[in-house]
Amino acid sequence: MTTATLTLAAPLPSRILAWMHERFPFANALLFFILYLTTAAVARAGEGALSLSLADLAGCLVTWSFFLLLRVFDEHKDYALDCQNHPQRVLQSGLISLNHLKVLGVLAVAAQLGYSLWLDQGIGQVTLSWLALMVWTCLMGKEFFVGEWLNKHLTWYAVSHMLVMPLVVFWLANLALPEVALSIELKAMMLLAFISGFCFEITRKTKGTDEERDTVESYSRIFGTQGSAWVVLALVSAMLACQLWLLWLLAGTPSLWTLIILGAFYCLALRQVWRFMDTPTAALREKNEAVVALDMLAGYAVVIGVSVSQQGVSLLWWGV
């Protein structure tokens, strides 16, 4: 059953899945899983062989649930505007309601809090790091009580919302290694997550000239199409610099294979954004998002690969 043929008579799970396909595709889980595994590799650096277990599968799933929660917050925050701009969407067309999404949000919070408390065996650093993350997430949901101002200053909007990423990484590091120290390597990982998230946010809101709307804010309306694309290029370059710094912290001078992989995806991103600058269309904007996401994934995957090559892997049934 496609979204176009879906009706209120369809089972609720089918309508929820249609919303997820539209607004939170399962394919996105790959990025969230890799973010957790990369953070785990950084947190466990120097702990001997890199240990992996079923606990890490649980870590991946609660990571995914957190980003699902962010999507639920955004759906509530942007509901009225999306009704105006995207009335055909599953939520806006009435196939599901905001109350249905609230249930998903409550389930996600319960999973995150329950797993954090279980790892702490009470309230410890895992739970406290999650609480700090949730405070910032709730402030984001309320747009820091200055929503009108933030919507007129889109760059500050992005900065304030992307500051959640270092908090996410610190919580994930605690999931992977409770009571983890805030090492320089972990700080570099937090910075990389911030820059990567900021880069993707700017990329997806740099619109082609054929999709600009007066009712939808975009960075291309603020900086101009060319200026916004240059910002993306600068952030992609900053992402590469941070990837290399993190690799140097973990293993010294990066090896040739890491440089080849990072360089290839960096050049791919540069080439695509240059194409967009020449022909700023919606189709090429979508490709911008794809190559920037691939560049992010490549950087995270290389960190995992370097950790495995340096430490080896120890497979456990459960625990870290």
pLDDT at position 29: 92
Q: What is the mean pLDDT of each run of 10 residues along the chain (320 residues)?
A: 73 93 91 95 83 89 96 91 88 93 96 96 96 95 81 81 94 95 95 94 81 68 83 95 96 92 96 92 89 94 89 70
How far is Cα 143 from Cα 249, in angstroms, rounded to an integer?
Answer: 35
Residue 163 forms part of a structural domain: yes
Confirm whether 5 is domain-assigned.
no
In a domain, 34, yes or no: yes
Model pLDDT, residue 225: 81
Number of structural domains, the chain? 1
Q: What's the confidence (pLDDT) of residue 4? A: 63
Structural domain of residue 225, as residue ranges?
A: 13-315
In a domain, 201, yes or no: yes
Residues 6 or more apart from 317 whose CB is under 8 A from it?
53, 54
Q: Is residue 208 part of a domain?
A: yes
| CB burial of residue 5 (10 Å; 0-12, 13-18, 19+) | exposed
User: Could you tell me if residue 107 is inside a domain?
Assistant: yes
Amino acid code (one letter) for 306:
V
Query: In b/e form, how buried is each residue of 207-220, taking b as 16+ CB within 10 angstroms?
Result: bbeeeeeeeebbbb
Measured CA to CA, the distance from residue 169 to residue 166 in angstroms comes to: 5
The answer to whether 268 touches 5, Cβ cutoff 8 Å, is no
Separation between Cα atoms, residue 186 and residue 6, nearest integer Å? 45
Does 22 reside within a domain?
yes
d(CA 146, CA 143): 6
Classify each residue of 235-263 as buried b or exposed e, where b means 16 or more C-beta atoms within 10 Å of its C-beta.
bbebbbebbbbbbebbbeebeeebeebbe
Residue 287, in any domain of the structure: yes
Using the structure block, give the residue that is written with the tokens 């010294």. 252
Q: How far apart are CA 127 and CA 132, in angstroms?
A: 9
CA distance 232 to 225: 11
pLDDT at position 33 is 95
